[in-house]
Structures are given as C-alpha cells and as structure tokens.
Chains A and B, each alone.
Chain A
Amino acid sequence: MQKKQNSIRKKEDRVLPRQKRRYTISGYVTDCSSSETLIGANVISHNTHQGTASNSYGYYSITVPEGETDLNFSYLGYAAKNCKFRLHKDTLINVRLSSDNRLKEIIVTSKQDEAGILATGMDAIDIPVDQIKHTPALLGETDVMRTIQLLPGIQSGTAGTAGLYVRGGNADENLILLDGIPVYKVDHLFGFFSVFTPEAMKKVTFFKGSFPARFNGRLSSVIDVRTKDGDMNHYHGNLAIGLLTSRFNFEGPIVKGKTSFNLSARRSYSDLVARPFMSKDEKFGYYFYDFNFKLNHKFSDFDRLYLSYYQGRDCMNENDYDTNTYNKHTYYDRYGMNMAWGNSITSLRWNHVFNDRLFCNTTVALNNYKIHLMSYDNDEVGANAYENSTSHYNSNIKDLNVLTDFDYYPSTAHHVKFGAGYIYHVFCPEVTNVQCKDKGSGTLPIDTVYNSPNHDIYAHEVSAYAEDNWKINDRLQANWGFDLSAFHVQGKSYYSFQPRLSFRYQLTNSVALKAAYTKMTQYVHLLTSMPITMPTDLWVPVTKKVRPMQANQFSVGGYYTGLKNWEISAEAYYKSMNNVLEYKDGVSFLGFSSDWENLVEMGHGRAFGIEFMLQKKVGNNTGWLSYTLSKSDRKFSKGGINGGERFPYAYDRRHTINIAYNRKFSSRFDIDLTWMFYTGGTTSLALKKSAIIIPDCGRSYYSKNVGDGVTEVDYVPHRNNYRLPSSHTLCLGFNFHKKTKHGMRTWNISLYNAYDAMNPTLIYRKTSEWYGSLPSSGGKLVKYTLLPFIPSFTYIYSF
C-alpha cells in the first residue's frame, strides 16, 4: 500500500504546475467624501507591474493572474490606497480615495492612457481645476482658456481675449466639449471671458496633437471639459463675489448614496449697478450669465444616469424715449434694441457596465446656439399718425447628438475603445425680417415686410471609431486607431478616413520617446472678419462648393523625469492643413454673408515648431516654464487672396515664453504668478500708395500726381505685411484664506498686467490732423491698449 502511495506521490511530483488563471477586477474610483467619480485615477498592480486608469466616468478594469493581489489606486491630490486580497474570481471593487491637500509628494507611476508625460499619446495635458483657479484672472474671473493659453504651442489671439490658436490653427479649429457635447460659442463679452466656470468643472483634458480616435470634427485641438456630478453624501458649495460677476455653486444628495445634484450659476451685474444712475429716458445695459445643472442617479453598480443642462447668454439692450413739440403737435419717439446670444445644451447620459471588461456610455443631447437681435423705432403724432419699424435678426445652429462609446478591456495589454455617433445639424444662417408700418404721414400707408432669402441647411454627420492602447512590451506602447466619418449636406456627401497613431518608447527609466501621426477632418467653419469675436460670427457647414478642411499632423518628442518632481519635455511638430477658409481680398465683411460661399477661398496652411516645457506639479512651489519656436503661414493658389502668394498667418508669433508659478506659503496665504511674452504677430498695414480706378469718373478726373482716370488710395502690398512689436504681460494673484466655523473664507486680489505694459490690442496708421490723409514718408502707428493695469478683488466663501 505504501509502495502504491509512493508511486502515486511520484506521479504527482511529475505533473506540471497548473497555469494561473486570469481574472478581472473592475469598479469605480470615487472621492471618499462626495462620491464624485475620479477620471484618470491610476490603478497599478504591484505584482505584475501592469496598470490602467479610470475612464471618463471613473470606471476601471484590470486583468491580473489569480492569487495574492496588491492593487494601488492613486490620484493627484488624494491619498493613495492599497488593496491586498486573494483573487480567485472576477471581482468588483469600488474604491474611495480621500482628498489630501497637505500631501507634499505623490509618486506617480501611472501608465495613464490618455494624458500626461507618461501617456502613450503625446501633446495631451491634464489641467487640474485647482490650477485653473490659481491662474491670475482678469477682474477676478478665473478661466480655463487663459490657463490653456499658458501652455506651449498656444497663441492667445488679440491681447487679453480668451481665444485659442493652437499650432497655427484658427480659433474655430478647437473641439470644445462640455461633457462630450460640442460647444459652439465659448466666450462672453466679445471674447474676453469663456463660458466655463471653474466651480462646475471636475476635469479638463487638453489635446493638441495625437487625438484619440473618438474625437473628430476639428483640426487643431480638443478641450474635454467634464463637470462635477454632485456630492452624493453631503451638502456644500461656495459663493464668490467679484467686481464683474458673482457666482455660486451648490451640490448635495437628493437620496444619499443614490441621487445627487450639482448647480452652479454666474451673472455679471454692471447693468444693475449702473441703471439707477441713467436718466429715465435712456437706458442701456449689458450682462452675461452661465447656468449649469446636473442630476446624477445611481441605479446600481452597473447603471448610472446623468441629466445635464447648460445655458449661457450675453444680453445687451438699449431703450430711449424722446418727445418733441412742434407746431402745436407733440411727437413721441421710442426706439431701441434687445440683443441676446448664447448656447443651450441639454443631455442625458447612461453608463452601463455589461461585464467586468465592457463598459458603455450612451449620450443623447440637444445643442442650440442662437443669436437674436430686435430693434425698433416707433414715432407717433397723436393717435392717427405713426411710423413704426421693427427689425429682427436671427441666426442659430441646432444639433441633435446621439453617441455611444464602449470601453473594452480584453487583456492587460490592450485597452480598446470603440463607438459611433450621429449628429443631425440644422443651420439657420442669418434671417432678417424688417416690418415697416406708416400711416397718416401724408404718404400712402405702408405695411411691408422685407425678408432675407436664407433657408435652413440640414446636414447629417455620422462617425464610427475604434482605438486600442496596446502595451507591446515593457518598453514599447502604442495607441492606434481610426475614425470614419461621413457628412451629408445639400445632396452632397463627404467621407473621411482619419488614422490615429502614436508610439511611446521607454528608453531608460527616466527617458521616454514618443512619435505620433494624426489626421483630422472638419465639416463646419466659423466665418469671422474682426480681430475680436463677435456674436455675429457665423458657423457654416461645408457645402457643394466648400469642401471639408483636413489636417495631417506629425509630431515627435522626448521626455525626461529623472529629476525628482520635475518633468522636462521637448516636442516638435509639423502640421499641414488643406481647404482652410479665408475671406477673399476686399470682400465686404461689413454686412451680411448670405453669399458666403462665393466670398471665401480655400487654400493651404502649414505650421511647424518646437516646444519645450519644464514643469513641477507637486510641493509648495509648482508651475511651469515653456518656450515655443514656431512658424505658420497660408497660401491660396487661386489668386483671390494675396495674389496667390504665401503670407504669414495672423498669429504667426515666432517666439513665445510662458511662466506659471504658484507658491503656497502656508494654509492661509499663497500667491500665483503668470508671465507671458511673445514676439509680434502680423497685421495688414497700408505702407504704400497705389492708384485705383473709379467707375464713371474717368473722363473728368485728373490728378497732377496720379494722372488721368484714377485716384490715389492707400495700398496694402500683401496680406499680413507688417510684424507687430512684442508683447508681455505679468499677472499676479494673492489669496488670503481663513477657516471659519462652517467653511473657508478667501480674499483674492488680482493684478492683471501688473506693470502696465502697453501691449497693442489694435493698430492703425496715424493720419494727419487735417483731411485724414496719411503723412508722407514714414509716419507713425497708433496702438490701442485695451487692457492696461487692472486690479480686482474677489470674496469667496466655501461651505
């Protein structure tokens, strides 16, 4: 018997050890206090040295071998958490992390999928909301766009405005998403402030290069803004009162642990302050507001529903009243206007977890941007004689968005994303309606309506994408994917295949190299003719004549993390753009653009440059220093612009230096500093005299200098012919905090343009005092500086 047992034991010794099975651990990473999901939280398996990150809804999934498992969860600004357990089946673990602002150092060993120096993709940056709040602000209005302007490769457009010109692209080439839905008009007050309030934001990710395949529709950048879901456990909020606006945020549970809400609002009030001082016969007002509301319901660990609503508006109005008495008659004249423009976005999102490896988000949204202007003039002479005219101007874009996105984790080496989307666009370009009524004035009575002939344009946009973040081996990672899109408008269809490729090679422990190629297609354009944004800037779709814009971008970069807490990067890029649009020379941009297709020309643009960045993210001293060397130009070969010759892009600024610095002295006092320097962009200046022919005066016109038949005129030799001087701006912010019984009180003092640099906002040639003519030889330029030194203060109370 013992012989038999020994024999069996020997047989057992000769059997190979059972191969370890692999199981998936998944769940949500949330804030311990508010249950707010954490986007991009790092999940690392210490046993296998593999990792992943939570997706845009805080969901993660990681497949590891069975047995003893040690998972580490970390997120910037939160205490890391370890979970040690024995894994023997697919497991659901929802992790709650505690916020820890005192943390001096976080060792980030993340393999973040999407953004950051360690991500596979390049040119992608996570912008902490805290950083946005600590960027010194104009009139106390912290702004995500101003923070992004401090990054390398970004130009700010006209000084002081919040526009973004990324790597030689136009302002309309940025895909700006609010919880996944594109926002058309992202600014207030003619471009000086953006529509995003930091109090409502949870996370902002900025892509300027290798865009993930799920993003399409714009050429130059993607700004993915995610708003807070709402605290599921406690009520809290904050109130800020500044010189320009007041804003508040309030969030809390409706059903604890199940349903929460988040509400934030902002309104300017200069109109309310000034109104009592206006005469009763003349009233003028301007204000803007933003309103965000979000409802979040958790059915179970597998299903969540979000309902969001955003509305932002700029409103301007004027009302005047005159009376006159003449020849025993009294005349009454009431005239004025009301104007409003802005976005409304309503969206419903459903998160569903199919299994441990498959996550789905489906979004249905209505998006509406519109502008309405009404002006009136009512003249009355008694009850029987009147002249009334009312004019209406309307323009809007309505989108119905249906999108579905899947996150699939087939193995640790692959993270697959795929999905599809459909957008039904209705473009309602400028529609005017002028009604004139005239009675009793001695002429034939008139009751006439003039309408403009513009018709709605309907378009269908369909897209599908797939991408895989693939860990090829310990050193090499790749993110590869594609986007297929189709755009159908006016009986014409356009198709686009957009490959996306990026590679990351870990050369040493502290040095990584990246390379990327991206192709993007854009089907809508913003027609603009002023250096500042105007509410009448018009979004128009591609048509039978105007083809989609396309861009191909190549980039390479090197990254070094060998210095403790420091990140150093250098990136070079080349971007080629086709079918970019510009107005032709001499087009009447003072006026409506019902004929816009014939007013623009398609051409080619290119941009290339190199960007350096030195950044520190942790500790009492944080910030970055960046330098960009870049060049960008355009060429329109048909000849309608600049005679077909290449010319520099308006925001072709050769050198740009940005410094952002935050110093935390104590829990009660900290300062923020930003300094921007850039060499001048370009503008078109009349530097010569030329002769033009005026119809119908040739036979009688004679000029001693210019000769017969023609008249002298200022001449712009070529577009963007003049290089502006350099600009530089220092902004400072001082924050004084004090804990109160129920919360925290903060006084913020901001100094915009602290040393009052007179940077040129607008420039034109100085004319002589008489006759408005240009002085002979040389002369001077006159510059307007719109934003000199501007101090402000803001009171913030958080509870």
Chain B
Amino acid sequence: MKKKIFTILSVLITILFVTSCENDMPITHNEKFERLVMNAFIDADSTNNVLYLNLTGADSALVVKDAHIEVRVNGELKEKEAASSRNKYPVKTQFHQGDVVRIDAYTNDNKYHVWVEETVPHSVGFVALDTAHVYKKFNSNSHAGGDSGIGNIWQYKISFKDNSGDVNYYRLYMERFIKKETIYKYVAEWPDVYKEDTVIYYRPDYGSDYMCYEDPIMMDGHTISADGDNDFGEYLPTLQATENIYGVFNNNRFKGKSCTLTVYDDLHSYPLYQHSVDTEEKTEETTICPIDEIFFVQSITESEYYYLKALNLYRSSDYQDNDDLSGPIKFPTNVHGGTGMVGFSSSASKYIRLQGKYN
C-alpha cells in the first residue's frame, strides 16, 4: 500500500515539473480582407455636412480619397460628390424631417461599395429653458466638472415635449458663445476717463459639456450623487452606471409627454463679471462676459443612439478597468457592406444669455 502511494506521488511530481507555463500566445488568424468605413453625423438643419471614408487595416486605418458618394432622398438622386480633401466628402443636400435618405459610397476602382439608409427623425417641441444659480456640491469626477467640491454652479432646466411614436432617441447638445468685453478706467492723475473696449467673441465649448449625473432621464434611472456615490460598481462591474458623456437618452420615462431635464455646469472658467482695482493708481478694470448658450434637443436615429452609448462606455474609465472580462467594444454600425456610423439628426433649440455679477 505504501509502495503504491509512493509510486503515484512520484509520477505526479514528475508530470508537474514537465509541464509548461507559457502565458503569451502568438496570434494566428487569416483575416486578410478589409472593409470600407463610412462615418458621418448629418445635421438635417445644415447644408454643410461632411462624410468621412476610411479603410480598415492591420496596423492602421487608411484614408480613402479615391471614391465618390451618391446621396438619394426618397429614392431620388440629389448629389454626387468626390473627396474635397483627404477623406472628407461634402454632403450639401438639404434634408427634411421624415426624408428617407440613402448614401452610397464607391471606391473608384469598384472594389468597395457601402451604403446606409435612414429616415431623418422629427424634431421635438421645445417648451422652455430656465437657469438658476445654486450653491451645490458637484462631482469632480464628472467629465464636465471643473474642480471638485462645493460652490455656486449653474443649473439648467430644459423642458420639451416628446414626439409621438413608440421609442424615440435624443441627445442634449449645447453650444456656448462668450463675448468678452474689457473696460479700462484710469482715475486720479488723468482727469479723463479712458475707456478701452476689447471684445472677443468665441465658442469655447460645445457638445455635452455639462453635468447630468443626477438626472434620472439622462442616467437611465440610475443616478450618481454629487459625491460620486455609485458604490455598486466598486464591487460588481456589471452594476457600474456609466456616465452619460454624450448626453443621449430615450423617452422610456415620458412617452408622448413633456419632460424636464436638469443639468449643471460650474462655468468657473467664465466669470460673468470681474472687477479689479490697482490701489496705487486707482486703476479700475472691469470685465463683463455675458455668455450666450444654445441648448439643442436633437432627435437622433436609433443606430446613432446606441453608437453614442457605446462611445460613453468606450470613453469611461470603467471600461479600461474591465475590458479583460467584457472584451473589446464592438461599435454598432448601420453601414451595409462595410462598417461605420452615419447618424441623422434634427434639432429644436433655445437660446439663453447669462449675464450679471455671479462668480
């Protein structure tokens, strides 16, 4: 009996030392074919849209400049375009809500052909846009937040009415324009008031550069508090609520009704009013920066909605931590015969000007 046990153990120990412990494996695959990539975000309210063509590659995606595109609206050919530069192809057709748009792209050697067909969504009825200056704690981990902590930040309430229909997809988009006006005033030695105006008008921010983590519609019902309290994700990655970087949402919670979104921005970089005094010369300098903001509620296609959701995930820090388990992001595509994303949107917007002495 003892001899049997000894024999067994000897054989096992020998096997153990003979095995290998290789952790790296070479990649062996036969994927040789490439795909034509077509990308665009078409704004139905613009006639200066741009479509991009590339080719997938083993080491790098490639520029495609020897191709042409054809745009059809409701079956009728509206334009045919070649590249304006490198991989850019202009789309100048004016689209209308409800149009069925088909875009075909052909490489000039006829090796690749891709196409996409979508219906331009209907814009919403924008009801109201209100702002308030509130004293609040905000989340520094938010992509739009500045410094962390507590302070006066801007609260925006955007109200609109959902389109009729089953499921609708939206994106909250914002453009900010700043007109910076500086007045210099010299007193004391010079009896005259010297005034110099410096006006700069620029657009520093656009997109979804606001904090929406507390809004249940924009966070799909699962908000994150200002402290970043979403502790589930710390313990189970499948419970991590991904921050809505691109401001996309659907109408699951307000089908056919009005809804109000609440978002925030600290605007700390853009003081509306500054006043400084040079005490020796009693020089005064006053800077007034009214901020013009336009909020757009974009109606987007379903494919663009899921594409932007995937982008939310791709750009979030959670994804980098968990890509071993969940695998690489497979971006949704609505391009037939190739890959890429061509999204269509139409917008309703409201303008507001912020001015005053809020700092």
Interface residues of chain A, those whose CB is within 8 Å of chain B, are 316, 318, 335, 337, 339, 373, 375-377, 387, 389, 391, 393, 432, 434, 436, 438, 441-444, 450, 452-454, 529-532, 534-536, 584-592, 594-595, 598, 639-640, 643, 665, 669, 683-696, 698, 705-710, 712-717, 719, 721-722, 725, 732, 734, 751, 754-758, 760, 762-766, 772, 776-785, 789
Contact = CB atoms under 8 A, between A and B. Distances in A.
A595 B230 contact: no
B241 A591 contact: yes
Contact of B242 (A443, A530, A588): A588
From A376, A710, A779, name the one whose CB has the most chain B CB atoms within 10 angstroms. Answer: A710
B160 interface: no
Contacts of B223: 434, 450
Nearest to B225: A436
A598 B167 contact: yes
Given A441-B150, A529-B238, A777-B59, A592 B326 contact: no
Contacts of B93: none
Interface in B325-345: 325-334, 336, 339-341
Interface stretch (B188-196, B279-287, B316-324): B316-324
Given A316-B235, A586-B309, A590-B326, 9 more contacts: A377-B227, A393-B232, A586-B329, A688-B34, A705-B61, A712-B61, A721-B29, A725-B25, A755-B15
A780 B26 contact: yes
24 contacts: A373-B232, A377-B229, A442-B150, A586-B331, A587-B309, A588-B310, A590-B233, A590-B322, A592-B220, A683-B327, A689-B58, A691-B340, A693-B39, A693-B341, A695-B246, A696-B207, A698-B41, A713-B331, A716-B328, A758-B19, A758-B21, A781-B27, A782-B24, A789-B16
Contacts of A441: 137, 150
B339 A591 contact: no
Contact of B229 (A434, A643, A706): A434
B16 A389 contact: no
A588 B229 contact: no
Interface stretch (B83-91, B96-104, B124-132, B350-358): B83-91
Contacts of A756: 16, 19, 21
Contact of B56 (A586, A688, A785): A688
B31 A443 contact: no
Contact of A707 (B86, B233, B237, B316): B86
A536 B238 contact: yes
A756 B311 CA distance: 40
B253 interface: yes
Interface size class of B (residues with CB under 8 A): 35 or more
A172 to B, nearest CB: 16
Contact of A536 (B216, B239, B334): B239
Contact of A586 (B24, B253, B306): B306
Contacts of B230: 391
Interface in B161-192: 167
Given A587-B306, A695-B41, A453 B221 contact: yes
Interface in B235-271: 235-242, 246, 250, 252-253
Nearest to B206: A696
B239 A691 contact: no
A588 B312 contact: yes
Contacts of B15: 754-755
A44 B20 CA distance: 55
A588 B21 contact: no
B331 A434 contact: no
A791 to B, nearest CB: 9
A645 to B, nearest CB: 11
A592 B241 contact: yes
A757 B19 contact: yes
A588 B207 contact: no
Given A443-B137, A592-B222, A595-B220, A689 B239 contact: no
A316 B239 CA distance: 15
A387 B238 contact: no
Contact of A693 (B40, B136, B250, B318): B40
B76 interface: no
A297 B332 CA distance: 60
Interface of B: 1, 4, 8, 12, 15-16, 18-27, 29, 31, 34-35, 37, 39-41, 50, 52, 54, 56-63, 85-88, 135-137, 150, 167, 206-208, 214, 216, 220-223, 225, 227, 229-242, 246, 250, 252-253, 306-314, 316, 318-320, 322-334, 336, 339-341
B153 to A, nearest CB: 11
A708 B53 CA distance: 10
B338 to A, nearest CB: 9
A687 B31 contact: yes
A273 B40 CA distance: 58
B57 A762 contact: no
A694 B222 CA distance: 25
Contacts of A692: 39, 311, 331, 340-341
A486 B322 CA distance: 41
B234 to A, nearest CB: 8
B21 to A, nearest CB: 6
Given A389-B225, A585-B333, A690 B56 contact: yes
Nearest to A683: B327
Nearest to A594: B221
Given A708-B52, A734-B8, A375 B231 contact: yes
A778 B27 contact: yes
Contacts of B39: 691-693, 709-710
A335 to B, nearest CB: 8
Contacts of B235: 316, 318, 337, 339, 373, 375
Contacts of B331: 585-586, 692, 713
Contacts of B8: 734
A719 B330 contact: yes
A590 B240 contact: yes
A222 to B, nearest CB: 29
Contact of A716 (B1, B167, B232, B330): B330
Nearest to B305: A598
Contact of B236 (A534, A777, A784): A534
Nearest to B207: A696
A751 B12 contact: yes
B306 A690 contact: no
Contacts of B238: 529-530, 534, 536, 589-591
Contacts of A530: 238, 325-326
Nearest to A719: B330
B50 A709 contact: yes
A222 B329 CA distance: 35
B60 A689 contact: yes
Contact of B18 (A443, A643, A755): A755
Contacts of B150: 441-443
A268 to B, nearest CB: 18
- Interface centre among B236, B242, B246, B320, by most chain A C-beta atoms within 10 angstroms, is B236
A462 to B, nearest CB: 30
B41 A373 contact: no
A25 B230 CA distance: 66
B220 A706 contact: no
- Among B22, B225, B253, the one with the most A-chain Cβ atoms within 10 Å of its Cβ is B225
A691 B37 contact: yes
Contacts of B26: 778, 780-781
A441 B15 CA distance: 64
B136 to A, nearest CB: 6
A337 B229 CA distance: 12
Contacts of B318: 590
A749 B310 CA distance: 48
A18 to B, nearest CB: 67
B330 A586 contact: yes
A706 to B, nearest CB: 5
A387 B207 CA distance: 33
Given A695-B207, A782-B24, A707 B52 contact: yes
Contact of B20 (A377, A536, A751, A758): A758
A482 to B, nearest CB: 37
